[in-house]
Amino acid sequence: MASISGKTAIDWAAFAAEIAPVEVIDEPVLVRKRSRDFFWYSPILDRRLKTCFGDLVARPKSPAEMAKCLSLAARHHVPVTLRGGGTGNYGQSVPMDGGLIIDTTAMGEVLEIGRDFVRVEAGCNILKLNTALKERGRELPVFPSTQDIATIGGFISGGSAGIGTVSHGMLRDAGNILEIRVLSAEETPREVVFTGEEINMIHHAWGINGVITELTLRTVPTEDWIGCIATFDSYPTCYAAGMALAASDIRRKLCSTLDARIGSYFDRLKEIVPEERAMLVTLVPRGQMEDFRRLVATHGGQIDLAMDEDERLARKLPHAFEFSYNHTTLQALKTDRKVTYLQILCPAPLNVAKIIELQAVLGDDVYMHHEFSRMGGQLVAFDLPLVRYTTDERLYQIMSLYEAHGCPASDPHSCIIEEGGMKKADYRHLAWKKRLDPLGLLNSAKSREWARVRTMAPEAIEALHQT
Ligand SMILES: Cc1cc2nc3c(=O)[nH]c(=O)nc-3n(C[C@H](O)[C@H](O)[C@H](O)COP(=O)(O)OP(=O)(O)OC[C@H]3O[C@@H](n4cnc5c(N)ncnc54)[C@H](O)[C@@H]3O)c2cc1C
């Protein structure tokens, strides 16, 4: 069987036979489909990744089958890319070196629901997980707006924040992730368990340094959520209301503000949200709707949509959170493929004056979108502005403008882990890669730094973390 990626010299038919009884997918069209994620959000990543494919997909159903895949990959020195729902948006699960794609979605059991925790297999779909928790009056403190498709392992490996971060902090904040179980990529895979602060050795490492098989996560009480959209006559007023909501006693699960021009892309809201009004998108407990109404009125706004789950289903509307986080960009891309986005941090202390200052310098091609969030206990806002794309140079110029005004940019147009959010190598991740993936099989093309440190001892790599 010829290599689909054109990058490997393996006899893939023999490999597929040897991996039995693990289910495999070798149909080139399907392998190519499972080689993609949402990298096409970025015109730069689209150019770079659209011709990167894997060679074979394996779908293990248990940790033992997962271990078999890893053992065989190690024996044949085959590059491996883990894939959950494939909703990452920096090409995180694109197999840049070709090789074996391990689809985790058949390892999707909810193993144990405790009083305030859940133990779950990494390939579990997040909607399935939240539905099981809801039956016990619980839910995840933080989940992505892609919950219908994404897996919990993909979120912990690729994500950082989401619906709930405004109340419960970043995924990495203490207590959200309680335990991560990982298999090494070796001929005899070993299981290693990470707890406490150690979870950050694996969390957000993009599957470069170990294969997550099982997670124990905190849960919080669920609420009768009302999905709301309130509108305001200017973005600064809307942002002020968002700040007030995020700082209030209202137990909101989401607090997003969107420039009025973003709303004009939302076909599903055409009859609901008046034109040219900035939007505040939130989830508020039914019992606190009166407090929310007062907050909106105090800031001169109006509530245009307040729907519970039954009403949402009856009106066939998307979840309110599908107008937040990276779903905002997706909704816009449905009608205009010339838009893209950026990821900017507005650090604490937040103030409206900063927004007005930025609006004055950014230009008409940048439409602000803030996600109010708690990070290390502080209230911050992530700006995921929609940008009308013209050139790569203009994108990077916009990032520089934000940075010059005190708002650091992460580069969502790079598929290299050291160029994204962290902007520097996490040598703890790389030291654990050396320990758990000594052959460098796991998604290695995503790390620029790995090529430099791969021959060093793990302790020597870790020591670089202090420098
Ligand atoms: C419309 C849209 C909205 C989004 N909203 C959010 C959001 O609110 N918050 C957020 O943080 N992100 C968000 N994202 C990014 C992405 O959806 C999330 O990170 C998501 O949870 C990824 O889950 P997944 O199962 O699709 O992972 P995948 O895309 O399949 O994989 C993500 C990364 O994890 C690795 N991986 C997968 N499974 C494992 C495993 N078992 N062990 C080790 N590594 C593994 C992959 O190799 C890859 O590097 C959004 C993306 C889109 C397109």
Domains by residue range for the chain, with CATH: 12-103 (3.30.43.10), 225-410 (3.40.462.40)
Cβ–Cβ under 8 Å, residues 346 and 383: yes
Q: Tell me the pLDDT of the chain (467 aa) as tens digits.
A: 679 999 999 999 999 999 999 999 999 999 999 999 999 999 999 999 999 999 999 999 999 999 999 999 999 999 999 999 999 999 999 999 999 999 999 999 999 999 999 999 999 999 999 999 999 999 999 999 999 999 999 999 999 999 999 999 999 998 999 999 999 999 999 999 999 999 999 999 999 999 999 999 999 999 999 999 999 999 999 999 999 999 999 999 999 999 999 999 999 999 999 999 999 999 999 999 999 999 999 999 999 999 999 999 999 999 999 999 999 999 999 989 999 999 999 999 999 999 999 999 999 999 999 999 999 999 999 999 999 999 999 999 999 999 999 999 999 999 999 987 667 899 999 999 999 999 999 999 999 999 999 999 999 999 998 77
Nearest atom (ligand 1) to Cα of 92: 49
Those residues with Cβ within 8 angstroms of residue 179's Cβ, 6 or more apart along the chain or in another chain? 119, 193, 194, 195, 199, 214, 215, 216
What is the distance in A from the centroid of ligand 1 to the CA of 155?
4
SS3 of residue 186 by DSSP: coil
34 CB neighbour count, 10 Å cutoff = 20
Closest residue by CA, ligand 1 atom 20: 155
To the question of pTM greater than 0.75 for the whole model, the response is yes
In this structure, the residues whose C-beta lies within 6 A of any atom of ligand 1 are 37-38, 81-89, 92-93, 104, 122, 144-146, 150-151, 153-155, 157-162, 206-207, 211-212, 325-327, 330, 443
Closest residue by CA, ligand 1 atom 3: 326
Nearest atom (ligand 1) to Cα of 82: 47
Closest residue by CA, ligand 1 atom 36: 154
Closest residue by CA, ligand 1 atom 27: 154
- Residue 284's pLDDT is 98
Query: Rounded to an integer, what distance in angstroms lies between the CA atom of residue 242 and that of residue 250?
Result: 12
What is the distance in A from the centroid of ligand 1 to the CA of 386?
20
What is the distance in A from the centroid of ligand 1 to the CA of 26?
24
Q: Which of 34, 157, 192, 334 to mutate to test the pocket of ligand 1 (most atoms within 8 A of CB)?
A: 157
Nearest atom (ligand 1) to Cα of 327: 1
- Residue 467's pLDDT is 72
What is the distance in A from the centroid of ligand 1 to the CA of 88?
4
Surface-to-core class of residue 465, CB atoms within 10 Å of its CB (0-12 exposed, 13-18 middle, 19+ buried): middle
Per-state percent for the chain, helix, strand, coil, to nearest 5? 35, 25, 40
Nearest atom (ligand 1) to Cα of 37: 29
What is the distance in A from the centroid of ligand 1 to the CA of 339?
21
Cβ–Cβ under 8 Å, residues 340 and 387: yes
Query: Rounded to an integer, what distance in angstroms lies between the CA atom of residue 147 and that of residue 166?
Result: 17
The one-character DSSP state at 457 is -
Sheet strands side by side (includes 191-195): 110-113, 117-121, 211-218, 177-183, 191-195
What is the distance in A from the centroid of ligand 1 to the CA of 277?
32
Nearest atom (ligand 1) to Cα of 321: 8
How far is C-alpha 99 from the geometric centre of its chain's CA atoms? 24
Cβ–Cβ under 8 Å, residues 329 and 340: yes
Closest residue by CA, ligand 1 atom 44: 207
- Residue 422's pLDDT is 62
What is the distance in A from the centroid of ligand 1 to the CA of 157?
7
Positive or negative, the Cα torsion across 86, 338, 242, 233? negative
- Residue 1's pLDDT is 62
